[in-house]
């Protein structure tokens, strides 16, 4: 399906649905039952942050149960890159559903998984030739860490079991992943005493587009020099540190970090869960640095936001060493690994992305974000404004008032989910300029009118 025909279909359906939904009324018992029984992510069961019931989603619009329309600036935590209710992705799931919804992956295989893995190997950086499918981004990080440790065990270097990661980094909420998240800002300080103790080096201070000097790598170099015999891998989010602060840093840092890893015999794990599939302006963010990691994690937008699925890719050297040495198997096996529905829609999502000039679209979004958010530079409460690819960030000087700000954005007809001191946008790639302008204007309005305090 071409870009034009897809968007035409979207626009016609969206207009029809928006006109039809305005007579909807919200069932008051739905939110009451939600409040009574449902525990939402990163929240308290006694939270005063409002929750809004969604009836349907189409294109870049979320339709609430009460009929209100919100332009989605979050891509549902960065995964719905094509927007919602995309016909070609719906078709992929329906077609697969008629064949089988699921089958165990132990001892069995199927075309959707095989074709997806082939496609991932084809589009990711060179040397990544083996794919291990997983359920979520956090699990893919756990797998990457286990791969690194088991690889060094196979190489007769069992002491290499620790990891280095960057401060302000975020890699997931499971136990292993938490151990490589920033121990102070990584939302997991409560669990520090039970987590494996790893190494942390400062977040790069060289910003995106700037050169990386020796002083920027000094602490990383010192840790590698002094402790490489105990370090299995360096894990980082290339170029964009996502949930740890939406920081954009120099691609040259990634390239030089890779060189240091090679010098000290340490693997490099690229966490591309947030940045993969075009978000930064490259298909994968490590392409900005022109490097190929030893292990790469992908997730979120892998399925276009339709189903949970992630993958960990590694070099043939890693998979061969693990397979050729005791215990001769990789010790991991998710029950829903390789789910056919998820693999089918992931393959369709990748093909859809590659079927049009997504680079030009992301570049246009970057320009619209830069123009739309520029006035924030002149607002007293704003500390910084930064844009990279289809990511726009307004960093405030103080933490936002979440209950007040969330309600203000919904009242403005947009869905923007701030956190900490950050108000940010990661819209679906199908968004057009008037819709993006509504998002950026809403941000300017709420800050100017003090609705964030």
Catalytic member of 271, 294, 306, 429: 271
Distance CA 97, CA 102 (A): 9
Distance from first CA to last CA of the chain, Å, rounded?
Answer: 45
Which of 10, 170, 253, 429 is flagged as catalytic?
Answer: 170
Find the catalytic residue in 300, 306, 361, 429.
300
For the record, the structure tokens of 406 come out as 């969330």
State the Cα torsion 132-274-292-350 to the nearest 10°.
70
- How many other β-carbons are positioned within 10 Å of the β-carbon of residue 437? 14
**Location of structure tokens 């969206």:** 14
- Give every CB contact of residue 368 below 8 A, 6+ residues apart in sequence: 433, 436, 437, 440
**Closest of 181, 224, 226 to residue 203, by C-alpha:** 181
Active site residue 438: no
Our answer to whether residue 170 is catalytic in this structure is yes
User: What length does the chain have?
Assistant: 453
The sign of the CA dihedral 107, 110, 112, 115 is positive
How large is the C-alpha radius of gyration of the chain? 22
User: Which residue numbers are catalytic?
Assistant: 42, 170, 271, 300
């Amino acid at each position: 399906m071409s870009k034009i025909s897809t968007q035409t279909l979207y626009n016609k359906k969206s207009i029809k649905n928006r006109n039809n939904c305005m007579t909807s009324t919200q069932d008051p018992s739905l939110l009451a039952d939600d409040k009574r029984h449902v525990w939402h992510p990163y929240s308290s069961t006694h939270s005063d942050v409002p929750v809004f019931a969604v009836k349907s989603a189409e294109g870049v619009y979320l339709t609430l149960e009460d009929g209100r329309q919100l332009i989605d600036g979050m891509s549902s935590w960065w995964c719905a890159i094509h927007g919602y209710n995309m016909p070609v992705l719906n078709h992929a799931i329906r077609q697969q559903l008629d064949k089988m919804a699921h089958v165990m992956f132990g001892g069995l295989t199927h075309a959707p998984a095989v074709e997806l893995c082939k496609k991932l190997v084809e589009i990711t950086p060179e040397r990544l030739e083996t794919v291990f499918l997983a359920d979520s981004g956090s699990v893919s990080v756990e797998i990457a860490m286990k791969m690194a440790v088991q690889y060094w065990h196979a190489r007769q270097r069992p002491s290499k079991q620790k990891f280095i990661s960057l401060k302000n980094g975020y890699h997931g909420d499971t136990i292993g992943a938490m151990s490589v998240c920033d121990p102070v800002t990584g939302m997991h300080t409560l669990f520090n005493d039970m987590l494996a103790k790893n190494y942390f080096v400062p977040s790069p201070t060289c910003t995106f587009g700037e050169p990386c000097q020796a002083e920027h790598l000094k602490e990383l170099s010192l840790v590698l020099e002094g402790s490489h015999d105990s370090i299995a891998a360096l894990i980082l989010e290339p170029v964009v540190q996502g949930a740890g602060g939406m920081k954009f840093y120099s691609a040259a840092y990634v390239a030089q970090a890779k060189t240091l890893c090679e010098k000290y015999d340490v693997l490099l794990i690229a966490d591309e869960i947030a940045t993969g599939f075009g978000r930064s302006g490259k298909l994968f963010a490590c392409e900005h640095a022109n490097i190929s990691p030893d292990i790469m994690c992908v997730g979120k937008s892998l399925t276009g936001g339709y189903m949970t699925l992630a993958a960990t890719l590694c070099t043939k050297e890693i998979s061969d060493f693990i397979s050729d040495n005791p215990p001769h198997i990789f010790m991991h096996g998710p029950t829903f690994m390789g789910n056919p529905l998820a693999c089918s829609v992931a393959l369709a999502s990748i093909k859809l992305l590659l079927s049009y000039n997504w680079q030009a679209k992301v570049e246009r979004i970057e320009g619209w974000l830069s123009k739309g958010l520029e006035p924030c530079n002149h607002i007293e409460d704003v500390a910084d404004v930064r844009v990279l690819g289809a990511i726009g960030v307004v960093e405030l000087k103080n933490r936002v008032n979440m209950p007040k700000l969330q309600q203000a954005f919904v009242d403005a007809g947009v869905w923007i989910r701030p956190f900490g001191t950050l108000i940010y946008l990661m819209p679906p790639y199908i968004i057009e300029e008037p819709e993006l302008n509504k998002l950026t204007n809403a941000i300017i309005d709420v800050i100017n009118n003090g609705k964030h305090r």
